[in-house]
Structure 1
Amino acid sequence: MNGSTSVDEAAQHPAARGRRGGLITFPFILGTMGGVSLGGGWVINLITCLKDEFHFKKVDAAKIYNYVNGSITMFPIVWAIIADSYVGCFSVIWFSSLISLLGTLLLLLLASMNQLKHYSQIEYPVLYIGLVLASLGNAGTRFTIAPMGADQLDNPKHQTVFFNWFIFTMYTANIISSTATVYVQENISWAWGFGLCILANVLGLALFLSGTRFYRLLKPKGSAYKNLARVVVAAIRKRKTILSLKSEDYYHSLEAKTPTNFFRFLNRAALITEGDTRAALITEGDIRSDHSITNPWKLCSVQQVEDLKGLIKIFPIWITGVVLSIPIAIQQSLFIFQAQTMNCDLGSHLKVPAASMQVFTLISTTITIIIVDRMLFPLWERLKHKPLTALQRVGIGHFFTILSMVVSGIVESKRLKIVKSNTLQNQSSAIVPMSVFWLVPQLSFVGMAEALHFAGQVSLYYQEFPESLKSTSTAAVAMSIGSAFYLSNPVIEVIRRVSGWLPDNMNNGRLDNVYWFCSTLGAINFACYLGCTLLYKYQNTQKTADDDKN
């Protein structure tokens, strides 16, 4: 990182003065992220573990895998609310790390029991408890570390560098998990594989705690979501009140401005009750002498009303993000079964584990991020004389997602033709004479898609979310992905029951039709997204432009 902080900046920013926070926290925060990501490596090969070690059917194992991934990406929003409202990021990170450690220990215990052939009736309950604890713990660390790391820095440029290294660290750790950890699980033992995850978790937690004296620990700000609920309640309580066009008739906490006309019903929440005068309000009404509100469930500020409106405006785009991730979740949970029926030999002595094929998605994502940031963005700005917007970046991600599903359908159609030509339809364990590396294009395209729409959504939500909800904007992206994993299970179940495309014997199924369905779903969702973007107007465009100038 080049450049140094000026004397004036040092006088203004405590992190720069070295009291607490600052660049010295980089190795501790990023090291913790690396340990946490490696500690969560048990998820990568979970489908194979459930199928081989606990004898689940293939589709059932895929559904459990989706629930686990859904929990890991859904519950960060809960942990974020707890951190912002009550205990802060530091407490959430170390506590959820312990929960994750306990859950992984239970998985290690079960793997050791299976290895020793010591089965018992409590095996499956303990398995589910271990998965729940490990999932919830992983959810509490992965997406809470990001805002805590940003809190240590005052310079926006330093924050940008941190987020770049944060994403790089996360994906690098996932690449290691997809290769080294999976190799140990399948070639040495599952117990050793889970043991490596535990070791990484412990080292990450130890590194995190060792940096305590350097961290800047911000006090919880109170629940912004409670303020949003107050706006709804106050608007309903005043639903019969006539709205005013005068700015002075509304309560302002920061600067005086008339509420916007979007969802005008909500403006009643900030409307000062008719019949009350300014003098009466200041002494004995809804507003105290220090201008604080005596009954926040009856009177809210204009800013709180506009914060809720901002979330309502962006909600349709968030929904398209959920639907966008459903085909990806389906592909991620089913392609492993394709890989297990294909030739996984790499040379004469090395065999590629099916789950390790996910590394091509991770590598593709990492490379695409570098190309987009270093080449695509500058080129676009030179040609168009304006930067590529977050909405445009997400839209390109939609296109690559659809392309990935189309390629998946083509590759699976080819695989099924080879199955039929070799009469392998009734042999579920038969290896099709087709290289597993035929799956690389579809996995690479989905990696490109994630690099575009995932990073684009993070940027969009951070820019467009209200100030009071900035720290949970990244959790909102994770929540959309988690929702997609949860919703993908009913979709898979309906397909399995109605069509018969997903039998336990994939050689006798029609997985290609599932991918064609995903392509169609993606295309319809892309059309809806384009409609949303045409109607959407950026709320903080000018503010973002000013920040870029600085």
Structure 2
Amino acid sequence: MENGSRSHTGESQIISSDSSSRRGGWITFPFIIGAIMGLSLAVGGWLSNLIVFLIQEFNVKSIDAAQIANVVNGSSCFFPVIGAIIADSFFGPFLVISISSCISLLGIVFLALTTTFDSLKPQSCLIGSEICQPTSTLQYTILYTGIALASIGLGGTRFTLATMGANQLDKPKNQATFFNWYFIGIYFASTVALTVIVYIEDNVGFKWGFGLAVAGNVIGLVIFLSGTRFYHFNKPQGSPFVGLARVIVATTWKRNLPLSSESKDYCYYGHEGVTNRVATTPSRSFSFLNRAAQKAEGDIKPDGTIAKPWRLCTVQQVEDFKTLIRIMPLWSTTIFLSTPIGIQGSLTILQALTMDRHLGPHFQIPAGSVVAVILVSGIIFLALIDRLLCPMWKKLTGHFPTPLQRIGLGHVLNVFTMAVSALVESKRLKFSQDHPGATTVPMLALWLFPQLVLVGVGEAFHFPGQVSLYYQEFPSSLKSTATAMISLVIGIAFYLGTGLINLVQKVTRWLPDNINNGRLENVYWMLVVIGVVNFGYYLVCAKLYKYQNVQDTDADGSLESDKKCCFFFF
């Protein structure tokens, strides 16, 4: 910029005054990627092995530990929605990410303390006995405070970082490329956590593993703050949800107002809730909502502004509300798409604990590390889809697969995954029955890999499809919320999974504390049935849905957002 002022002295003041607006671009990429990798390493260090940690360090029963892990995973996925709303509405992504990283750091430090000081955890159970020292109130307080703070911190960082990174770039193609590398960073860091850190926790000690998680959080926070001078900061314009709420109130208030077909009778401008996009005429779908933007006596001041915002909205606010209504049925189908995955993740770890995890005479795979197969297969198949399958699809059909098609393939693979899981569990249970009393079933844990690979392949289809759909279709004022919608789905899915497991335990004998005495394969077959029904529901919703924000089409009619076939998402 100094060189520019020497050669163009007449423009120096303009350059100076616009310096803040010229921030952003690819120079911010290393800081965003470095931050997400450090923070993902920290999250993986404490969350991925939580079931084993609770069983070994706090004497929690296996099914209870799996249920606790599901609740924690669910909470960790709900908090990003809150973080996104706060970032969109009040403080902006940068401040939310900075504060949340500090909260996450404090929570992991609490967890590290429970592994460092013997007074903060109960004594181990006697070998061969179920008699264990009860956990004290103080010990539970430190444990759950650490988990809560770490979950809240996660909520304010991961998905808000995704939006902040995309905000640094202007072109959809560059944003797509950013999402690719951004989530490659998440997958890579999570894989390291699931393998290296979990191995250290199982073989050296949880205090060393949690210590590495603390270090990862600190490194991620430092890298993120180091890029402050380069970031472009979007100013929040107040809560977009207030504008959406006004649509409901105004529609109710004017429910008896006759609808007008004249465009001049509707409000298009007027207060801070107006988004960057400007709707020209109200659409005919959900026409009863158009009353919220229809002008009535006393709604407009003499200067042309809105007199009572809760009685008159803009057409754009109404159209944004309609967009959310249209996409909600599709969004709801992804809840039962993610529920089986959440249930399978925790139950697979319990299966691995009962199986032979040795690779050679001296190395044993940590039970918490087996789910790393999902990440590895996800990375491989995301690359294959992006470089091989999508171009092949384009040659055969003339266009790239749409987000809805990608999500549909994810549904099919999800059903197939649960069927394979049921067959593998039937074989594991047969080995267990053939060797009664054995603490370890003489069956290699490698048998679990095919179902985990299928999970990764399915995620490579439906997660990118979901983030592409929401980011493309959501109103511009809700972009942070759009990227967090996947997190909300996963959070609800974990809670539903927890409730479903509780229901199964109450009405059946399929899930005792010792799964060798149960019928876990029946749980998987139940999930197959749920998946088939949900896929049918999805097909109906997808058939009825019409894309709302089809922009920047190329010569062959394909969406600009589809030119990059895949968004990586975890």
Return the TM-score normalized by structure 1: 0.92
Query: Are the aligned partners of 2:254 and 2:291 in contact in 1 as well (CA < 8 Å)?
Result: yes
AA aligned to 2:436 is T
Distance 1:431 1:288 in 2: 81
How far residue 265 of structure 1 moved from its aligned partner, in angstroms, is: 1.8
How far residue 459 of structure 1 moved from its aligned partner, in angstroms, is: 0.4
1:411 alignment counterpart: 424
1:227 alignment counterpart: 243
SS at match of 1:268: helix
Distance 1:115 1:452 in 2: 47
Deviations 1:293-343 (A, max 9, x none): 232111001111111111101101100001111111110111111001110
1:242 alignment counterpart: 258
How far residue 201 of structure 1 moved from its aligned partner, in angstroms, is: 0.2
SS at match of 2:236: coil
Distance 1:197 1:528 in 2: 41
How far residue 541 of structure 1 moved from its aligned partner, in angstroms, is: 2.3
How far residue 373 of structure 1 moved from its aligned partner, in angstroms, is: 0.9
Deviations 1:2-46 (A, max 9, x none): xxxxxxxxx99x999994212211111100000110011210000
1:390-539 paired onto structure 2 within 5 Å: 390-424=403-437, 430-539=439-548
Query: Are the aligned partners of 2:84 and 2:480 in contact in 1 as well (CA < 8 Å)?
Result: yes
Relative to structure 1, the CA distance from residue 461 to residue 118 in structure 2 (aligned partners, 3 Å threshold; closer, same or farther) is closer
Query: Are the aligned partners of 2:194 and 2:368 in contact in 1 as well (CA < 8 Å)?
Result: yes
Relative to structure 1, the CA distance from residue 115 to residue 411 in structure 2 (aligned partners, 3 Å threshold; closer, same or farther) is farther
Whether 1:30 aligns to 2:33 is yes
Choose which of 346, 350, 356 in structure 1 pairs with 2:359: 346
Relative to structure 1, the CA distance from residue 543 to residue 222 in structure 2 (aligned partners, 3 Å threshold; closer, same or farther) is farther
Relative to structure 1, the CA distance from residue 206 to residue 64 in structure 2 (aligned partners, 3 Å threshold; closer, same or farther) is same
SS at match of 2:442: strand
Distance 2:61 2:82 in 1: 32
Whether 1:182 aligns to 2:192 is no
Report the count of equivalent residues: 525
How far residue 157 of structure 1 moved from its aligned partner, in angstroms, is: 2.6
2:310 alignment counterpart: 297
Relative to structure 1, the CA distance from residue 349 to residue 459 in structure 2 (aligned partners, 3 Å threshold; closer, same or farther) is same
Choose which of 19, 38, 42 in structure 2 pairs with 1:39: 42
Distance 1:484 1:88 in 2: 28
* Divergent runs of 4+, >6 A: 14-18, 115-119
Choose which of 365, 376, 379 in structure 1 pairs with 2:392: 379
1:199 alignment counterpart: 215
Deviations 1:481-509 (A, max 9, x none): 11101111110000011011000011001
Query: Are the aligned partners of 1:74 and 1:139 in contact in 2 as well (CA < 8 Å)?
Result: yes
Distance 2:398 2:18 in 1: 36
How far residue 118 of structure 1 moved from its aligned partner, in angstroms, is: 7.3
Relative to structure 1, the CA distance from residue 17 to residue 226 in structure 2 (aligned partners, 3 Å threshold; closer, same or farther) is closer
1:71 alignment counterpart: 75
AA aligned to 1:418 is F
Distance 2:120 2:342 in 1: 34
How far residue 200 of structure 1 moved from its aligned partner, in angstroms, is: 0.5
Choose which of 360, 371, 379 in structure 2 pairs with 1:366: 379
How far residue 390 of structure 1 moved from its aligned partner, in angstroms, is: 0.4
1:48 alignment counterpart: 52
AA aligned to 1:524 is V
1:270 alignment counterpart: 293
Distance 1:323 1:97 in 2: 31
Choose which of 87, 103, 114 in structure 1 pairs with 2:107: 103
Which consecutive residues of structure 2, in runs of 5 or more, have no partner in the other structure? 1-13, 124-135, 270-276, 564-570
Query: Are the aligned partners of 1:288 and 1:294 in contact in 2 as well (CA < 8 Å)?
Result: no
Choose which of 163, 167, 185 in structure 2 pairs with 1:151: 167
2:91 alignment counterpart: 87
Whether 1:261 aligns to 2:277 is no
Deviations 1:120-157 (A, max 9, x none): 54101211111111001011111111111111222333
Which consecutive residues of structure 1, in runs of 5 or more, have no partner in the other structure? 1-10
Deviations 1:167-215 (A, max 9, x none): 1000000000000010110111111110000000001111111111111
Deviations 1:380-412 (A, max 9, x none): 111101221100000000111111100000000
How far residue 447 of structure 1 moved from its aligned partner, in angstroms, is: 0.6
User: Structure 1 stretch 531-540 or stretch 164-173: which is displaced more?
Assistant: 531-540
Query: Are the aligned partners of 2:113 and 2:120 in contact in 1 as well (CA < 8 Å)?
Result: no
SS at match of 1:539: coil
Choose which of 231, 251, 256 in structure 2 pairs with 1:215: 231
Relative to structure 1, the CA distance from residue 287 to residue 544 in structure 2 (aligned partners, 3 Å threshold; closer, same or farther) is farther
How far residue 261 of structure 1 moved from its aligned partner, in angstroms, is: 2.5
How far residue 469 of structure 1 moved from its aligned partner, in angstroms, is: 1.5
SS at match of 1:456: helix
1:134 alignment counterpart: 150
Relative to structure 1, the CA distance from residue 155 to residue 437 in structure 2 (aligned partners, 3 Å threshold; closer, same or farther) is same
1:548 alignment counterpart: 560
AA aligned to 1:40 is V
SS at match of 1:122: helix
SS at match of 1:346: coil
Deviations 1:19-76 (A, max 9, x none): 4212211111100000110011210000000111111111111111111111111111
Relative to structure 1, the CA distance from residue 256 to residue 439 in structure 2 (aligned partners, 3 Å threshold; closer, same or farther) is closer
Query: Are the aligned partners of 1:358 and 1:443 in contact in 2 as well (CA < 8 Å)?
Result: yes
